[in-house]
Each structure stands twice: as C-alpha cells, then as structure tokens.
Structure 1
Amino acid sequence: MDDEHEPSAWHTVPVTEDLVHGAIELERTEHGLLPHRLPARARAQCADPQLHLAESQPSGVRLVFRTRATVVELDTYSTRVEYRGVPPRPRGVHDLRVDGVLAAQASATGGTVVSIDPSTGATETRPGPVSTVRFDGLAPHDKRVEIWLPHNESTRLAALRTDAPVEPAASGSRRIWLHHGSSISQGSNAASPSTTWPALAASLGDVDLINLGFSGSALLDPFTARALRDTPADLISVKIGINVVNADVMRRRAFVPAVHGFLDTIREGHPTTPLLVVSPLLCPMHENTPGPGEFDTAALREGVVRFRATGDPAERAAGKLTLTVIRDELADIVARRSDPNLHYLDGRTLYGESDATELPLPDALHPDAETHRRIGDRFAAWAFADGPFAGRS
C-alpha cells in the first residue's frame, strides 16, 4: 500500500449490528464477526455441512452507513470452495454501492480454501491470512455507502477503517422483503452479490432484502420455517421445489403436508403478510425425471462442472417428485388454503422454455449472470409493479 496516498487520520469503526443489514445473527469469532442467515438454534438442529456452508455465505448481507469518507478499507477473513480437477471459480466479489449506484468492486485475496473432490466428496482445508478490501477515490460529500459481501464466500468482518466518521444508515420507510429459496436464490453463477436476482428485484422494488436462499438446502426444514416466522418482514416469498427433487428427500405423500406445515409455521408469525409461493424455474433435466441429481462425471473429466438427473421417469407413478409434479401440487396447495394474502407464481414465468433456448443453464442447473438479471427484472415487474407486493414505500 502506497503511504503517499494514505489518509492523514484513520477512523477505526467498530463493526456493530446497526451497520450490518440482511443478516439474521452475528457471531463473534477469532477472525472477526461472522454473519449468519440462520439463527444458532436452527444451525444446531442440522449437522449437514452443505447447509452450514450455505447459510454462512452472506448472500444479501451488506454493511450500510453514511459518511464523507473518500477511502474505505474492510479487513475480512473468507472461506471459499474449490472443486478438484475443475478450473477454480472467480473469487467472491464485494460490491460498493454509493447512494444506490454500483461504484466499485473488489475481491479478497486471503482466507481459507475448502477443496472438494466432486467424485468422492472428500475435503481438504487450506487456511490463509486475513486480507484487506480497499475502496478509494470516493467523493467527499455525505453519502450512503453499502458494501455487499460475497454471496458465495463465508466472510468474517475483522475491521473497518475510513478517513472520515461513520454513522449507521437507517432503512427509513422501505419495506422488508424476506425471501427463501435454493442456490439460484442465493445467487449461484451471478456476477456479484448485488446482481443476484433477488438483489436486483429488491432494488427495482425499492425494498430491503433479507435473503434466506440456501444452496442445496431449500428442503422444507422446520427450522427454516421458524426462522422465517420469527424474522420481521413486510413481504415474504418462498421458492420451493428444485432442491426437494435433486436431493430426492421425499415423495409426493410427504411433500404436500410438508408444504402445508411450512406455510402454517410462517403464518404463526406473519398471519396476514403478503406471502408468495414460487414454483421452480424451468430446469429441463428435472422436468420429468426425478432425482437425485449428481455431478456429471464425464463432464468433470473434461474439467467442466455439470449436473445430471439420475432418477427413472417411471418412478413418478410410485410418488417420486419431478418439477412438473411439484408445480401442480404447489398450485393446488395455494388454491385450497383459505388465505387471501397467499399467492402463487409459476417459476416458468421467470425462466421458461423460450429462455432455456436463448439462455440455456450453463451447468444444466443454475442460470448465468445475464439470466439472473432477466429473472430479477421479471420478478420485480410481476410482484412489485402490479402483483401482490405492489405499493411503494
């Protein structure tokens, strides 16, 4: 770092709860403050490492404050995943937004790497150092600053420094949108944390996002329903289906009561809040073929991550689930419940057959960055413009 361009006086800013938006809970650790998107009680009820990794990846979590600072530094300790034999994915991105506009981006350089063998599931952990993310050249006037944390790397917040005082920035009158879904909702394959489809939709809808999208882990877990129940919100959406199919965790007989129970639990804390059930986006490999899904080993040998469905379509007669079955059941569930504030959106409205022809899923499961933008635009137009979430703050 060039001392010639260093501020004459640094302000070390304690990272406190009033600066962190979008997290459910903050945990103090050896390397700093770790944002969680599930509370400790929920985390204690499930030992699945996939869930623990996903909920600790801070999708939708951001530092928000007002300041005249021209330089902002954030010390972070990250944990990221790599797959052996596959070219490493780009590092997670920190988005700096100033007065609502993307102004700069930066990535951490240190942290821990968890290396996974996709063919066996074996893992190896390689620890690294704390790193500093720096943003400089900011205008010296008073402004609202947001630092969106990487949606795909667990990030501990070690220290925040600025060259001018900082004060918390309240949300004001904006409504809180609480969303739950799978890896697509978390932001898999999005370009950056403020350009995941929920973040884009939230910006267009002028709402504050709390994103409980958990990669591989939208499985109708009761503890997730209780987290939704207990989190203050003005608008709620739940995107249900793809993980239930590709994890092959239940049959039709269990699925329907589980959805009812999930919605019942949410309603215990939010009896009249607008609640939107979103069925799966189009995913050709699972439309009529049950799970489980798995890595395509032939593609992995070529250094490419791709997924495939391994179920037998004939097993639908025995109650195995496909996306087609799930959409029919979700539409029926919403129609049968006596709830005027409960709504249904067919996920193919957001990404359907014509989209799959134009913008196919690169790994057969997750949309790319351009498709995230399309989904976010369509959700905002459907839900916030004239739909169940309409009404400006």
Structure 2
Amino acid sequence: MNDTAPLATRTTPITAELLRGALDLERTGRGLLPHRLPAGARARCADGQLAMAESQPSGVRLVFTTRATTVELDTLPTRRVYPGAPPRPDGVYELLVDGEPAGRATAAGGDVFTVDLATGAATRERGPVATLRFAGLPDRVKDVEIWLPHNETTELVALRTDAPVEPTPARGRPVWVHHGSSISQGSDAASPTTTWPAIAAARGGVELVNLGFGGGALLDPFTARAIRDTPADLISVKIGINVVNADLMRLRAFGPAVHGFLDTIREGHPDTPLLVVSPIHCPIHEETPGPCAFDLDALAAGQVRFVATGDPAERAAGKLTLGVIRDELAGIVERRAAEDPRLHHLDGRELYGAADFAELPLPDGLHPDAATHRRIGERFAERVFAGRSAPFAPAAG
C-alpha cells in the first residue's frame, strides 16, 4: 500500500465486459460471483465439491484499459479451513500491466468455510469485505489485468480507480478452452498466472478459459454441453485421474462415456482442433484402482497425503487405473481420428513422467507443486502450440 498515491475515487460497475474466463456471473446480494459453469450446468448436479470448485475463479481475470495509477478492488473471498490439516495459504490476486507482472496481493477479510474431514460437517462464518490496493502504476494508457485466486471462491464487490476505465478490446488471440481436474485448476500452484494452463496459455499466445475443476473431471454430460456452447478456437480435455480417484465407473462404461463427451463437444465445434490428454504420472494410481482416500497417519502428523485403496487384482473385473485409462484413450482417439482429422491425443506422461517424479515428486501423492506446474505448462506449450505439426499450431487451426 502506498498512502501517498492518488485516491481511487471513480467507481466502475463490474460487468461481463470487464471479465474474461467466466461462463456465468451471479448477483449474490453481496457482490458479483463469477462461475466457470453456466447456471444450467450447475442445476444438473448437487455435488458440493463441484459447486466449490467451479466457483473458484481459476483463469478468471478483470481486464480493462485505463490511465489510472491507483486501482482498488473490493472482494469477498471464501477461505477453506480443515481442522487438523495444515492451514491453506490465502488466495493470491495478481496484477499484470500490458501483460507483465506488476504486483500481488491477498485479501484480509471475507468468509471462512470450515470442513471436518472426518465427518464432512461444514460451517460458514461471514466476514467483512476486503480491499486490495495497487498503487504507483505507470501514468499512461495501458491494459490492466487482475487475475483472481485460482483456489478461493471470490465475490467481486467494487472496482475503483483514479482515472476512467474502458473494456479492453479483443486482440484477436485464439480462445483456448481447457477442461481437467484439480491439477488443471491449479492445485498447489503458487499463483493464478502460474497454474500450468495459465503458463501454457501465455507461451502459446492464447486467451484461456480454464474449466479445470478439482475432483470434477468426471465426464459429466453438462460439462460437455458447457464446452459445446462456449466460443472456442482450440479445445483440450484432460481425462482420467478423477475417474480413478472417485472409483466412478468400470471400463465398460468409461469408453462410451468418453465417446459421448467428445460427441457432445463436436456438436458445437465440429472442426475445432480438439486434444485429448491422458493423465500425468501418479504412482499411487498407475496400477492400483481407486477410490482415493486421505492418508490418516499423515493427517495425524499434520500433513495431507493421499493413498489408493483399491486392489490391483480388480483390474480384471474392469476397475480403472491410470494405465488402463491411457490405453483406452489412445485407442479411442486413434479410431475416431480416421473420421476426425482435427482430433489429437497427448500422453500425459510427456508432460510429467516417471523421471520427473523422481526429480519433482508429487508432495501429497496427487498434486504437482509450483515448480512442477511450470514444467508441465512449458512442456504443454512446446508440444501443443509450437511447431508446424503441433495440434494447436496456427496451421492446424
């Protein structure tokens, strides 16, 4: 905070024209809540985990053009607290000026949502509006972006500046819609612009719409319809880890569910480059089915780790592992590609494989840390956006 900076006295209504990366905006009575699934999709599922994940604005950012040197944003974040587990870090808001990092902040306020991991019981304690202040910005016309926390539900209350604000015009960059799990949402990334999809988007020169949902990449038909109905120049779907984690289906159901998911997307995007990405390397589920569970011994020691509780012998009965899913996805894409030349496949182990795990292990057994997010994002950009034969290279579109 710079107390000598000009006062931000101009209030600009926060509208859809100033927001990117959200599929829906909800007026809550306290503020404006960005959603990453439309209302129709949310009405199709009462799962609290998905509701929480899709309301966490990963990839959602305020974007405007202004000469302002001081910007203030009032927000109402919702912090999650899990008694007995290590405290979660506060959500990070990142400021970019003309595409370059220009500041970070956290919000001191908002609601607290407490969840008992043993019973699932939850309580909410309401808190005050928080104010973020970015001062000392360059005194010239510039594009300003404020990236909202990727892992913290955030209601937007007010935007104030010391100069007029206008919506930033579209720059003609391709829109990339990506769907995946908590890894795609950004679990354990350092900040909203350093989730692996955000890193890949920056390197690929595209506009990101991140539909990564923690625990929610489950081949839900309403998610496929949301992708179908969202304008996109490039689409990728990362499938597998959540299906195993949840022990959701057997192999007999998995293949048709993937086909149905892709069929629905193709209804709205018949010619759009579409990439199917299989899971990254994750030792606990490579050959062991789910469900996944908390490691209770680790929790007792104040650490969060996950274990696979299935039996590898159950693969014979159709239970899914990451190895089974990778083989199935590769076969599905190979068979469909004969009639769909813009459908592509990427083995997730090209982004993070066994050798990477030896160097950069997954701290909790499931989720990559900040350094691994960067590696995955850079590799995705290299393999998918760069080179003439890359699935998302300009010639491919």
- Scaled to the shorter chain, the TM-score interval is over 0.9
- Look up the match of 1:187: 186
1:379 equivalenced with 2:380 (yes/no):
yes
Deviation at 1:171, TM superposition (A): 2.4
Structure 1: distance between partners of 2:201 and 2:220: 25
1:181–1:240 Cα contact (<8 Å) kept = yes
- Look up the match of 1:349: 350
Secondary structure of 1:225's counterpart equals helix
Deviation at 1:8, TM superposition (A): 5.2
- Look up the match of 1:388: 391
Deviation at 1:124, TM superposition (A): 2.0
Q: How many residues align?
A: 392
Deviations 1:119-146 (CA, angstroms, capped at 9, x unpaired):
2222122211110011111111111100
1:186–1:196 Cα contact (<8 Å) kept = yes
- Look up the match of 1:369: 370
Q: 1:225 to 1:9 in 2, by over 3 A?
A: closer
Structure 1: distance between partners of 2:287 and 2:81: 31
Give the RMSD, CA atoms, in angstroms. Answer: 1.2
- Look up the match of 1:43: 42
1:77 equivalenced with 2:76 (yes/no):
yes
Secondary structure of 1:294's counterpart equals strand
Give the alignment of 1:1-393 within 5 angstroms. 5=4, 7=6, 10-337=9-336, 338-386=339-387, 387-391=390-394
Structure 1: distance between partners of 2:48 and 2:7: 45
Deviations 1:317-336 (CA, angstroms, capped at 9, x unpaired):
00000000000000000001
Deviations 1:181-206 (CA, angstroms, capped at 9, x unpaired):
00000000000001100000000000
Deviation at 1:9, TM superposition (A): 6.2
2:8–2:72 Cα contact (<8 Å) kept = no
Deviation at 1:170, TM superposition (A): 2.0
% of aligned pairs identical?
70
Structure 2: distance between partners of 1:331 and 1:128: 48
Deviation at 1:109, TM superposition (A): 1.0
Q: TM-score if structure 1 supplies the norm length?
A: 0.98
Deviation at 1:84, TM superposition (A): 0.8
Q: Gaps (5+ residues) in structure 1? A: none
Structure 1: distance between partners of 2:302 and 2:7: 49
Deviation at 1:83, TM superposition (A): 1.2
Moved over 3 A (4+): none
Structure 2: distance between partners of 1:114 and 1:128: 10
Q: Gaps (5+ residues) in structure 2? A: none
Deviation at 1:6, TM superposition (A): 5.1
1:74–1:160 Cα contact (<8 Å) kept = yes
1:71–1:135 Cα contact (<8 Å) kept = yes
Letter of the aligned partner of 2:255 in structure 1?
V
1:80–1:152 Cα contact (<8 Å) kept = no
Secondary structure of 2:394's counterpart equals coil
Structure 2: distance between partners of 1:9 and 1:96: 16
Structure 1: distance between partners of 2:14 and 2:297: 46
Structure 2: distance between partners of 1:8 and 1:248: 54
Secondary structure of 2:259's counterpart equals helix
1:239–1:279 Cα contact (<8 Å) kept = yes
Structure 1: distance between partners of 2:345 and 2:216: 21
2:94–2:101 Cα contact (<8 Å) kept = yes
